[in-house]
Amino acid sequence: MIETTTFDVARCSDCAADVVAAWDLIGDEMQRVCPHCETVLADESSFRALTGSSLRRLGYAIEGEGPKASSCSSGGCGSCSRA
């Protein structure tokens, strides 16, 4: 599978974590902020574009690709059928 969708990820100093940047209107300017604590992500050098699979390594679940859509598609393995 070829991944073409990327997400802007940056370091949030407040969360001490890599977060997917969100856009927010600060004053009259759109700025990239942390979706968790709304700190403005001003450190341009920490920005990078990651694909969905890279994001999962950071602990993010991509919509539609969460745990319920994991390896067992039948739902009969016992661990995912009781979700």
Site residues (CB under 5 A) for Zn ion?
A: 12, 14-15, 34, 36-37, 39
CB of residue 11 to Zn ion, shortest distance in Å? 9
**Judged by CB, which is closer to Zn ion: 5, or 39?**
39
For residue 50, which amino acid is it? L
> Token pair for residue 37?
């604590």
Residue with tokens 């990651």: 50
CB of residue 23 to Zn ion, shortest distance in Å? 15
Nearest to 55, CA basis, from 13, 16, 21, 12: 21
**Judged by CB, which is closer to Zn ion: 12, or 52?**
12
**Judged by CB, which is closer to Zn ion: 46, or 65?**
46
Q: What three-state secondary structure class fits 47?
A: coil
